[in-house]
Amino acid sequence: MIELSNIVKRYHQQEVLRGVNLSVADGEVCVLLGPSGGGKSTLLRTINGLETFDSGSIRVGDITLGASPGPERNAALSQIRRRVGMVFQQFNLFPHRSVLENVIEAPVHVLGQSRDEAIENARRLLNRVGMGDKESARPGSLSGGQQQRVAIARTLAMNPEAILFDEPTSALDPRTTSEVMGVMTDLAASGQRMIVVTHAMSFARSVAHQVHILHAGQIAESGPPDQIFSDPRTEVTRAFLADVGD
């Protein structure tokens, strides 16, 4: 279980998360939607410690991350980072290393896997994302969609309990978007727990178990996609859906 309780986050005086509660069960795919500036990225980033928060707590399994800085928080954070992976819009692959080297880096250096074991695992994962024939390529020679699939394999190589995706296809053209969405749909079908911020409404509709609308730092509405899309219950959700043309 991942559980966010009453998360408040301020930048200077501005409250960008205003008491967010969210829980994501094992094997659940949760999609976060909402207008730009609503706090979606900030929320994801608090979960794996890329941002601090001012109050509230985050629980990942038996680990609890509080807001107060200190050794306890640092210890919780390093455990959460091992359990929760993140995939960004901008891929963030090491440009001077091959695809294979990118995927084995963290398993070798963070998990302490042997190089041989990490390579075997990486090859399996690259095949899974349809990139098995590109292990020697440099990221710069690949399309954006291919780079994103490598980034997903790199995240999977840490065997995460959950993966956070922050607009993973918004830098991609429609064809490569569908390749990446295909990989994400397969992951979802295999029971991978994920929290996905996306503009891809078709993914939200067909793959999500729960959809949450985050607006102005608060969850305006949560529900299964059927309900959210066909029977939105808040004005915020109706306005958002009208805006994205759904």
Q: Contacts with ligand ADP in 121-150 (CB under 6 A)?
A: none
Residue 102 beta carbon to ligand ADP: minimum distance, rounded to whole angstroms:
26
**Which stretch, 16-24, 35-43, 99-107, 204-212, contacts Mg ion (CB under 5 A)?**
35-43
How far CA 229 is from CA of 34, 113, 162, 177, 195, in Å, comes to 13, 44, 25, 22, 18
**Which stretch, 34-42, 97-105, 140-148, 149-157, contacts ligand ADP (CB under 6 A)?**
34-42
Yes or no: say if 150 and 93 are a contact pair by the CB < 8 Å rule. Answer: yes
Return the number of the residue (137 or 216) whose C-beta is nearest ligand ADP. Answer: 216
Q: Select the residue interacting with Mg ion from 9, 31, 41, 107 (CB under 5 A).
A: 41
- Taking CB within 5 to 8 Å according to partner kind, which of Mg ion, ligand ADP, none is near residue 168? none
**Which stretch, 39-47, 113-121, 145-153, 185-193, contacts Mg ion (CB under 5 A)?**
39-47
Return the number of the residue (121 or 237) whose C-beta is nearest ligand ADP. Answer: 237
177 binds ligand ADP, rule: CB under 6 A: no
Return the number of the residue (41 or 121) whose C-beta is nearest Mg ion. Answer: 41
Return the number of the residue (34 or 139) whose C-beta is nearest Mg ion. Answer: 34
x/- binding map, residues 36-75, to ligand ADP, per CB under 6 A? Answer: xxxxxxx---------------------------------
Q: Write out the residues near ligand ADP by the rule CB under 6 A.
A: 11, 16, 34, 36-42
